[in-house]
Amino acid sequence: MTNTEPTTEEQQATAAHEAVEHDVDQDAAEAGESMESLMAAQDAMDEAFKPGQLLSGKVVRIDSEGVLVDVGYKTEGVIPLHQLSHRKDVDPNEIVKVGEQVEVTVTRVEGAEGTLILSKKRADLESAWFRVIKAEETGEILTATCTEQVKGGLIVDLGLRGFVPASHVDLRPVHDLSDYVGESLELKVLEVDKPRRKVVLSRKKALEELRGKMRENTMKNLEEGQIVSGTVARLTNFGAFINLGGADGLVHISELSWKRIKHPNEVVRVGEPVDVRVLSVSPEKDRISLSLRQARPDPWTTAVESMRVNDIVPGKVSKLAKNYVFVEIADGVEGLVPISELADFRITKPAEHFKPDQEVKVKVLEIKPESRRILLSIRQSGTAGASRGDSVTSTRGDGHSGFTIGDRLQGQLAQFLTPGAEAAPAAEEGNEPAAE
């Protein structure tokens, strides 16, 4: 009878073959699972990080190839240098710092390891467009840095390039726009054209709005009689405008000084800081009236305290009138000399004997503080003031003074002015005086 059962050697060979087949099948299965896993991981990553997606991450390294950013993925994302900013030739360290939190946009997933390629430039651009469009709708004021001067205006950095026309740089025309390069400017959106990537802005509109708010706030807080600080903004023939912080008030020329002045530039200059007293506030008329002199010590107070009736004091002719001469006896304090107190002889025209800025001595006759009036006398001051010989002069065509009546009538006047003097005989016209 034939034995059909396999021998031990055959059994071992079969087992070895089955083991090999099992290993091959297992390797194939593992390879399939590995490929499926990789494909699944890639699909998952493509699903998690799509081009254009906005992410937030922390800068972990800056080198010559780009910037590494940790966005919470197994490997850091990379921002190529040309994707850092829309500005060209800029040092990466000027744009980002290690440890800084930044917003980036996914450009693509690259390589078997799934390296994220990111763009800060695109993220900034999208964020900037969002802010600009929102500002256009709401009227919000934006802040941007001026990067360069171009023909017709300025270029500003909003995360995108914006243009400010020269006519919208300031409230008044600007002749040198280069002064604004590098400065931070407050701007309002005038025009947005996203397909053409065009943004037009206005600093002038922003300043007008800010000034309007400041003016409203300033006028609310002003009270009559209040002393406030400001800066001389501009001068006119009738007064000076003082900037109080968004609101300009007017100091009329009569309120600039305690003494008479012809023009405001005799007292103040543009840009000078001053303290002023609020005289009135009229919001409905958008008007503020101020006084410079009333915010300063009243010279009349000092004059009344230091001066007494019968005092002889120095002064300077400040104004000539028909029947009076005004004499300034202290800064901002004028006294009045009636025509009868000008000299010890009769004067009919003060202008024939006195001139502005002429220095004189005067006697105090009367002080009336309540009416701010001081009565003076040149005649009683004990000084000549005016003499008869000064009363009339003849002026030749060349502008030089000729003779006086005193010169021609010297002998006749001597008998009146000097006791005991005899008048010299006057020569008859056409004859020589008699020889002694």
Residue 333 pLDDT? 87
Is 312 inside any structural domain?
Answer: yes
Residue 23 pLDDT? 55
Is 219 inside any structural domain?
Answer: no
Among candidate residues 354, 374, 389, the one where a domain is terminated: 389
Q: Is there a single domain that holds both residue 313 and residue 288?
A: no
**Cα→Cα distances 101→55, 59, 124, Å:** 11, 6, 13
Side-chain half-sphere CA neighbours of 90 within 13 A? 15
Q: Retrieve residue 276's tokens.
A: 């002023």
The CATH code of the domain that includes 350 is 2.40.50.140
**Cα→Cα distances 301→158, 261, 367, Å:** 60, 20, 12
Domain span at residue 150 reads 141-208
CA distance linking residue 126 with residue 122, whole number of Å: 6
Residue 221 pLDDT? 86
Among candidate residues 295, 319, 354, the one where a domain is terminated: 295
Is 88 inside any structural domain?
Answer: yes
Q: Is there a single domain that holds both residue 326 and residue 385?
A: yes
Q: Is there a single domain that holds both residue 274 and residue 316?
A: no
Query: Against a cut of 0.75, is the pTM above it?
Result: no
CA distance linking residue 22 with residue 273, whole number of Å: 97
Is 51 inside any structural domain?
Answer: no
Side-chain half-sphere CA neighbours of 298 within 13 A? 8
Q: Is there a single domain that holds both residue 351 and residue 383?
A: yes
Tell me which H or E stretch contains 321. Answer: none
Number of domains in the chain: 4
Q: Is there a single domain that holds both residue 106 and residue 147?
A: no
Residue 430 pLDDT? 37
Residue 43 pLDDT? 53
Is 398 inside any structural domain?
Answer: no
- Enumerate residue ranges in the chain where pLDDT < 70: 1-48, 112, 384-436
pLDDT tens-digit profile of 221-276?
A: 888 999 999 999 999 999 999 999 878 999 999 999 888 888 999 999 999 999 99
Q: Is there a single domain that holds both residue 232 and residue 287?
A: yes
Q: Is there a single domain that holds both residue 181 and residue 239?
A: no
Q: What are 192's strand-pairing partners?
A: 199
3-state DSSP of 87-134: CCCCCHHHHCCCCCEEEEEEEEEECCCCEEEEEHHHHHHHHHHHHHHH
Find where tokens 């409905």 sit: 284
Is 49 inside any structural domain?
Answer: no
The CATH code of the domain that includes 76 is 2.40.50
Is 190 inside any structural domain?
Answer: yes
Q: Is there a single domain that holds both residue 273 and residue 317?
A: no
Residue 306 pLDDT? 82
Is 405 inside any structural domain?
Answer: no
